[in-house]
Structure 1
Amino acid sequence: MSRVTLISRDGCHLCEVAEAALDRIIPGQWSRVNIDSSIELERDYGDRVPVVLLDGAEHGYWKVEEDRLLRDLSRPPGEPRL
């Protein structure tokens, strides 16, 4: 299971930028979920896509905070993040 999941949608420019950032900093170590695949995702995230999840918890939205994500990925799963 990937520690990083990107909630995105097709045709979203910010989503494409976030995908490129994840490909650059953690290639092959993240997964993508299309918000349009679930009414629950649409309800939960709506216009905030892209949303980055780390270990299933929201880490950020609209952009990938690269330094913060790399810092938090260096911690074991479940360890509190700042």
Structure 2
Amino acid sequence: MSVKSGIPDFRSSSGLWKNIDPRTVATVEAFQDHYSLFHEFYSMRIKSLESCVPHEGHLILADFEKRGLVNAIATQNVD
């Protein structure tokens, strides 16, 4: 659902990890030892989310929650 909302995935042929080794930006060590690279990557990530809009599936799930039909949602992915 997230990709259809405009949020890029990580592992596809055009995903975020295609040109970036996740160990260089997505670890505690990256934060501690290479903060400028870490900061640059996550600044880009946050900026890219500004143009995203909820997918119809997100809206349906939000409606289910509002009507008390679901209390929680579990996912296997971390977006």
> Bigger radius of gyration, 1 or 2?
2
Of Structure 1 and Structure 2, the greater strand share is in 1
TM-score (norm 1): 0.23
Of Structure 1 and Structure 2, the greater helix share is in 2
